[in-house]
Structure formats: C-alpha cells, structure tokens
Structure 1
Amino acid sequence: MNQCCTIGDHGVNVEFICLNQSCRDLRVFCFKCLQNEKHNLHMKDVHKLRDYGKLFENNNQSNVFEDLERNIDYVNTLFKWLKDEMFNSNSLNQEEIEYLNIEQLHDYICSFIQMQSQKQSILGIIQKNVENLIQTLNNCISDLEFSAMGNPGKKIKSELSNINYDLINESEEQQINSIAFNLDSRIMIAGYESSTIKVFDFIDGEVKLNQEIKLHKKSIYCVYHMKKTKEFISGSCDKTIIIFQQGDDQQWNLKQQLEEHQGGVNCLVVNKDEDTIISGSDDTLIKIWTKDNDYWTCHQTIIGHQHYISCISLNETENQIISCSKHPQILIHQQEINSKVWVLLQTINVSTWGRRLCFINDAIFTFQPERKEQLHVYEFNSKNNQFQLTKTIPVEIGTCRIKKRGCFWFFPQQFIKEKQILVNKNECSVNLILVNQDGQFITKQSIDYFTSGVFGRMTDDGQFLITWDDISRKLQIRQLKQ
C-alpha cells in the first residue's frame, strides 16, 4: 500500500498497523508515528502492514470450528443410535404377537405404553435443548450481523464485486427475437418477428442502422455473428438457415441457404473454429453442419428429443452438447474422437421442462426450469461419469402484467467468461448472476420487465446488455457500472 501517513509533516508511507483492542490512536501509521511514542504501551500488538494476511493464517478460530464440527458429527451419531433404538427396540411384529399368551401380551402392552411415555419425555428434553441451541446460534448470528453493519471490509468487498447495468439508451423498434454481435461488438445483428434482419453499427451504446435484409419468409428466431470472418447466420420459422457474407461494398448478401430442417430453427451454436454449426428445431431434431471447401453440409442428425428443441449449449472443450426441449429431459451428447460422430452420453429426467441451459465450463452447467424461481446447477461426477444436480439457486421471476403467458423463447442463457456473469432470463425477469471462484452463484441484479415477452443478449465483453420487450416496445441498451 503506497499511501502517505495522514499526519501532514511526516511525508512517508504507512508501514504499520495496530491490533490492540483498547487503542485509541490511528491504527494505520508510519515509522515517524512510532518514533513519537504512539502505541508504545502495546508494542506487542503492532505489526507490519505487509504481514496482515499472515497474522490470521494460524489463528485458533479454525481449531474451534473443527472441534465444533467433530461434536456435531458425534451428536449426529448419537441421534441416529437413539432413533434406531426408539423405532426398533422392544417392538414385535404381528406374527410374533400372535404367539403370545394373554399374560405375555398384557406385560408387553404395559411395557410398550411405559416406553412410549419415556420416549415422549426424552424427546421433550432434547427438543428443549435444541431450541436453546438454536436461540444461542441466532443470537450469535445477530451479534455478528450487527457488528458487521459498519464493517468497512464487508462494505469494500461488496463494492468491489458490485454489478449493475444502467439504462443509457432506448429507441422504438418492432419485435426483435434475437441479437448477435461480431468479435469487437461494433456490429449488431437483429432478427425480427416480421422476418426482417437489420444490421447496425454499435458504438459506445449507440446504434446506427446500416442495412435491412428481407430474404427469410417468416420470423427470425436466432442469429449468430462469426468471430473470425465477415459472416453471420440466421435461423427462421421458415425452416431455413441462411449464411450471409459481407461484400467489398460493405453490404451483406446471401452466401448459402441450408434447408434440411422440417420445422422452425429455434437455436444455433457455432464452435470456435467456426467450421461446425449446431442447430435445434421444432422438428425435434438437432443437426450438425460442417464446412468443407467453404461449403456447408449436414454431417449428422441427432434424434432423441420428444418435443421441439428450445436450447443448445456446447462445452468449453467442444466435445459435449447439452440440449433441452418442451419435454422434461436434458440430453447430453458427446463426440467420439475418431469418428467425429456425436453419441448419447446421458439422459437427465427433470420434473419440469425448461427453455434455457448453458455450460459454465466442462464440469458445470445450469438449467432454468419453466416458471420456477430456482436455477438448477449440474456438476460432473467423475466417479460415475454423470452430471448430477448439486444445488438450486434462488432467481427472480418478475411481475407479469399479462396473465397466463409462457416464458417465451429466443433469449438463451449466456455465460460471459470475461466477467464470470451468467445472464438468465426467467419469466419477466433477467437475472445477472456472478459465478465466483468458489463456484457460488450470486444474483447481483434482477431487471423486471413486467412481461415475459423480453428478448436480448449481452455483448461478449460484458459491457452492454441489449433487450427488447413487448411492453415498452423499445430496444433498450444498458451499460455495466462498477
């Protein structure tokens, strides 16, 4: 920390800290302060500022918690033993009772009644002590929370990790279903319900229309801008995928049209090398398209879903695909190394179907069940080579002004690796969730649009969130403020 001592005529950087509980002097000070006999009555509590972190490495708080955890484990063991005794001891089954004579049965019933009374007494004593323990813990937590209200360390940590996207610009637009950006986020592609595609310049949160394209016959459901080439692709309700290329005149023209789907194309994923397109459709099929000599062909058709495909995600290594549909299942496919064929690796049955999922990394993906206020987190278990549900994260659902509406498609989950932010639209709310180094999911901001008809995307650098909703009927641009 290269900061000068607050005593003006000292003019040197602070070097020391004081941890004495009774000290009333400034706790961060320089060598000249020390020479002036500040803190001389408790020098044992004066430490070098650079050693601050080491002072707490070997504190006995961790030992106390270890002792408490051992005691809790022992209490759990005793409780299990007590439970087994109460349920299993001195109990006879129906067959054994039928072999008793009257006197034996009388004695057994008396013993049983007495045992029940003892059990109630024991449970009452335990319950009272448990309530005392709960009250003690609540009091301790309240004391800590009260003490932390003015804790600058907690405040600083909160400020450092604060995430907030503020509205900086908006403009009237017809319904936009999908948005995509090029590598540096200076070109924005928007796919419209009207079947139009518009290409915008996107500079510092301002949009300027460059070109309107009307080649699709029906609504645009998904768009993706290539990162390595001046090309973008679009999927439409008209069952086609079109690859567009920018010419020397800066205008975008049709390069190739893919027509093998038998239903609307709902989602598109492209690999990093941009030689593979993965598409999901209303026809319940996933198609793998590969490029050879700059020409795209269908390499493989994946079956298995029982309803129209709602979302696809490709993992970081790009050897696994997760997909969901309007059916309570998540399918995981893996590419075989030699044949390059994708095969079913795992089927996860879920209680509620969902429209959105996303890989966070190779070992973790998230899934948003329809109309639920929890985000599901799945993690890979190396022992059985399966993904398993490990946690549920509370997420906002928002307030819908139009009743009995579904969540709507076309706003896929998006993980911004640079900022470690997961963008998760759920009903009427867009939840911005920070994934920290400990694997915790912390909702930092929830934007309520008061309608489930909201569509959008975040720029790949995490600086801007762009949405369109059917209440404001505006293209809204929000910028990250930290």
Structure 2
Amino acid sequence: MQMSCNQADHNNQSIIGVCVDITCPNIRPYCNFCLPLHAKHLHMLTPLDLINEWISERILQVHNAQNNVEEFKVSLEIFLNQVSPYCNFNFDQIPKLGLSQIDNLVKGLGSIELCEKVLFRQLNQSIQELKQIVIEIQKILKNQITISNNDNTQIPQYQHKLKPNLSPIRYQLMKTNSIEQGGSCFAFAFNKDCSIVAAGCSSQIIVYEFRQGMKKQIQLLYEHQKEMGTLNFMKKSNQLVSGDCDGDILIWSSKNNKYWICSQTLKQHNSRINCLIMNNNEDIMISCSNDQTIKFWMKLNEWICQQTITNHENFVYQLSLNEKQNKVISCGKDQLILVIENSEQNKQWIVKQKIQVDCLGYRLCFINDNLFTFQPSTGNLMHIYELHNLSKQFTQTKHITVNQGDDNRVFFPQKYIQSKQLLVIKHDKYINLIRKIDNDQFIVEQSIQFSSKELFGCISDDGEYLITWDDSSDEIQIRRSKQE
C-alpha cells in the first residue's frame, strides 16, 4: 500500500503506519513528520506492514460478537417457545384438565412469577445498559472519517479482498439434537449422504442414524481394546475404518448401514494411530502414528501395507493429500513437515522436501496443489505455505491471525471443504471457520468458542454439519450451516 502524507508541510512523505488509538484527534495514517503529533500514545502506532494483521484481529472480534448475539437470540427463541403456551392459554380448558395437569400449570406459572420478580428485572437492567452501549458505539462509528468517492488509496481494494466469493456461512447449534456423553469421544465420521454418524467413544464405536440431526443409536461396536482416535467412512464402498491407541486399524463392512461387522484387522503400527486418510479412488490408505512412521496401504483382495516412511524422528500427527492425489504432507512432534510425492516411474512414495519449523503443530491441510496451511500449537497465527514455481519447493509466505491459544490435543484434523471454500481448524478451545477468497487470501468467517480445549469433532464432506464433543458440556453437539 503506497500512500503519501497530505499534511501541507510534510513534503508528501510516505505513510509508514497507522495510529490505532480511537481517541486520537489527528489523522491516523502517519509519516515520519507526523510522529510528534502522536507522542503521547506511541505504543498505539502500528507499522504499515502490520495493519492487515491488526484489521484481521478486529474482524475476528466482530465475528465473535456476532456469534455471541446469535447464540443469545437462539436462547431467547427457545425460551419464548417454552412460554408461548401460557400466553395463548384458553380458560375454557380449565374444567377439562385433570389434577396432574392443573398441578403442572400452577407450578409452571409460579416459576414464571419467580423469574419475573428476580431474573427478568436483572435482565431488563442489563438490556437497558446494553442499549446505551450500542448507542455510544453508533455515535463513534458515525463520527469516523469516511473515504470520499475520489480517494485513490488502496483501502477500497483491501475491503474488496475481505468479500468472500460465496455468501457468508454461520454454524448454529441444534440444541434439540445434543446427546449427553460422559466418556471422551475423540473421533467422528459422517457417511457419504450424512444418513449415518459414527462416534468413537473410548474403545467403542457408537453408530447413529442421522437425518438432519442425531436420531437414534443403531449399533454399538466393541472390537477395539483401546481408545480410538480416527474414524473414516469410505464413499464408494459401504465400509468404515477405525484406528486406536494400540496401533490397530479395523475395517468394518455393512450391507444395509444397520449391522456392521469387522472384516479385517491391520496390525502394522505398534502405537497410537493419529490420522488416517484415503485417496479419492479408495484404493490407497495412508496412516500415521506415534511409532514415528507413515504407512501406505494398498487395496487388493484385502488391505496390505505397501510402503513405510520413517523420516520423522518423533510422533506423526496429521496427513493431508493434495488435489491431484500425488503429494502427501505430514507434521510431527519433531517440528518437521514432510512433503512426500508419488513417483510415476516406480509407484513409490518419496520424501521430496523436509521443512523444519520453529514450533510444534498438530494440524495441517492442503488447500490445492500449490497451497497448504499449518497451525502452530501456540500463539495466534496460522501459517500459509506456497509452492515456488521454479524451485518446486514449499515455503511459508504469509500467515492468518486467529484466536490466541495454547493447544496440546491431537485429533480433530484440519479439513478443507472445496465446495464452500471453507477451512475448518480447531485451535485451543476454538473452532475457526476460515474462508478462502480472491488471490489465495483467507479471512476468519466464524470462530466458535467452547469452554475447554478438550474438544474433538469433524465436519461433513459437504460442509453442512459440524459435530463436536467437549469435556465441559459432556455432550455430542451438532451445528448446521446457515447461508447468510
């Protein structure tokens, strides 16, 4: 962004930063000659190359505020639905009521009276305070300097970048579909048409019927001896794949989605399975483990281990395939990202690049053949890696500001929904929904905050449903996307 200062005596000096103090009476973009005007709040001066990051952080706060308001609206709607029968009560019905019905009516109305005396008065006071806050915010926004139509700065172009290619999406909690689940659920999977959900709860797999929400439990599968961390439904065949903390991978088959049996057990890993992915043809399966290996499995009559990659020196956390299905990336506890490529000559997978990062990260994901994301476990940044045209090597080119966090939980892999251009990332106790927009830029579209970082889940392949479990609510929760 190249701009010149328009102060009369500043000789068209280049703008070097922006003052972000909202009480500052001076024009906020500043040059070197402007610095004395901001002497009392130098700590509020932001260099020009960091202003995009500052704006992104505030946009995230706007999204969080919007999310909180939406959740408050949902709670109010639920409450109104519960009290509406009393509002439309027909007195002619009283003689027809039984003793228990009259008892329930009196208790219900008595509870409302108690709420009116105590809680509603407090709520009304809070509402009045909130209204005053909103009025003050509106005054501040109304008094801000607006950009004139003949302004030739780069700001309108930056605003255009923030406009997604698709309509904004919000994920709203379907409260009536929540299921109490006291034990840990590390893994979830939707089948191809979202009619079945599998939940890995401790060493059991609970299979649910799913029709626009959780319906009923179909089956409980007991074959695993240890906790599960991965579940995957195959799309072309009616099979389910699960991996546990012993390193066992089980293949489950079903003819009618109602009765699943274990058809094969794979015992090549000797420690916890952290991630398992499949190619689009579903004839190659790739797994990674705490045993520091990545294994490539080939489907013949049964699944067999075709190749093992041993370049990681510690636990391997996540894998991702690119669009062409000829590259795999991995990240591990050794702070190493591997780029593994399939050789057309000998059909072997070869490590083409080792990227040493300066931070631990549990999650990464290909966006397309030339772009992938990596989420460090601490801090508030997500890294973007791009493929250089000449060197054919991936390098970190930029980052996205997300919530501040200190994550230490495996599972809940990153996932990119191509049809919605939406990246789903868990970081600390947040789930970030990040939209890819023009010129390979990204914006945080929604950030869902939970009460615990002990948070696991997945999103359906079409991006319609988000399923989670966290140890604060002890619930399996469903959120559904809503196009705005």
Do they superpose with TM above 0.5? Answer: yes
| Counterparts of 1:359 and 1:467, CA distance in 2 | 22
Cα 1:252–1:158 change in 2 (3 A) is closer
Give CA-to-partner distance per residue, 1:327-346, whole Å, 9 cap, x none: 21111110100211011110
Q: Which residue of 1 aligns with 2:409?
A: 408
Give CA-to-partner distance per residue, 1:3-25, whole Å, 9 cap, x none: xxxxxxxxxxxxxxxxxxxxxxx
2:193 to 184, 209, 217: 184
Alignment pair present for 1:282 and 2:290:
yes
| Counterparts of 1:75 and 1:132, CA distance in 2 | 15
Cα 1:283–1:67 change in 2 (3 A) is closer
Q: Which residue of 2 aligns with 1:316?
A: 323
| Counterparts of 1:159 and 1:263, CA distance in 2 | 43
Q: Which residue of 2 aligns with 1:102?
A: none
| Counterparts of 1:463 and 1:416, CA distance in 2 | 10
Alignment pair present for 1:385 and 2:375:
no
Give CA-to-partner distance per residue, 1:235-292, whole Å, 9 cap, x none: 0012110000004683100111100111111110000000111000110000000011
The amino acid across from 1:190 in the alignment is A
Q: Which residue of 1 aligns with 2:91?
A: none
| Counterparts of 2:299 and 2:376, CA distance in 1 | 34
CA contact 2:387–2:395 (8 Å) conserved in 1 = yes
Alignment pair present for 1:327 and 2:334:
yes
- Secondary structure of the residue that 1:144 maps to in structure 2? coil
Cα 1:412–1:66 change in 2 (3 A) is closer
2:247 to 222, 236, 239: 239
Give CA-to-partner distance per residue, 1:223-242, whole Å, 9 cap, x none: 10000010010000121100
| Counterparts of 1:427 and 1:465, CA distance in 2 | 17
Cα 1:325–1:67 change in 2 (3 A) is closer
Q: TM-score, normalised by structure 1?
A: 0.67
Alignment pair present for 1:255 and 2:256:
no
The amino acid across from 1:432 in the alignment is L
Cα 1:253–1:386 change in 2 (3 A) is same
Q: Which residue of 1 aligns with 2:220?
A: 212
- Give the deviation of 1:127 after TM superposition: 3.1
Give CA-to-partner distance per residue, 1:116-136, whole Å, 9 cap, x none: xxxxxxxxxx8326778999x
Which moved further from structure 2: 429-438 or 159-168? 159-168
CA contact 1:313–1:321 (8 Å) conserved in 2 = yes
CA contact 1:435–1:442 (8 Å) conserved in 2 = yes
Cα 1:466–1:249 change in 2 (3 A) is closer
Cα 1:163–1:250 change in 2 (3 A) is closer
Question: Rg: which structure is higher?
Answer: 1
Percent identical residues: 38
Higher RCO structure, 1 or 2 (CA under 8 Å, sep 6+): 2
Moved over 3 A (4+): 65-68, 129-135, 145-148, 156-161, 247-250
Aligned-CA RMSD value: 3.3
The amino acid across from 1:188 in the alignment is V
Give CA-to-partner distance per residue, 1:157-213, whole Å, 9 cap, x none: 689732211111311013210111111111111112x20001111111233211000
Q: Which residue of 2 aligns with 1:460?
A: 461
- Give the deviation of 1:450 after TM superposition: 2.1
Q: Which residue of 2 aligns with 1:366?
A: 373
User: Number of aligned pairs?
Assistant: 351
Structure 1: gaps spanning 5 or more residues: 1-64, 69-73, 80-125, 399-404
2:353 to 341, 346, 355: 346
The amino acid across from 2:339 in the alignment is I
| Counterparts of 2:479 and 2:346, CA distance in 1 | 45
The amino acid across from 1:175 in the alignment is S
1:171 to 168, 175, 179: 179
Give CA-to-partner distance per residue, 1:403-426, whole Å, 9 cap, x none: xx8531110001011111100100
CA contact 1:247–1:253 (8 Å) conserved in 2 = no
Q: Which residue of 1 aligns with 2:90?
A: none
Q: Which residue of 2 aligns with 1:472?
A: 473
- Secondary structure of the residue that 2:312 maps to in structure 1? coil
| Counterparts of 1:372 and 1:476, CA distance in 2 | 27
Structure 2: gaps spanning 5 or more residues: 5-11, 17-30, 39-44, 52-143, 152-158
The amino acid across from 1:253 in the alignment is I
Which moved further from structure 2: 158-167 or 357-366? 158-167
Q: Which residue of 2 aligns with 1:115?
A: none
Cα 1:291–1:166 change in 2 (3 A) is same
1:397-436 equivalences in 2 (<5 Å): 397=404, 406-436=407-437
Q: Which residue of 2 aligns with 1:266?
A: 274
Give CA-to-partner distance per residue, 1:99-131, whole Å, 9 cap, x none: xxxxxxxxxxxxxxxxxxxxxxxxxxx832677
The amino acid across from 1:186 in the alignment is S
1:394 to 401, 415, 431: 401
1:127 to 25, 32, 49: 32
- Secondary structure of the residue that 1:306 maps to in structure 2? coil
| Counterparts of 2:206 and 2:219, CA distance in 1 | 6
The amino acid across from 2:185 in the alignment is I
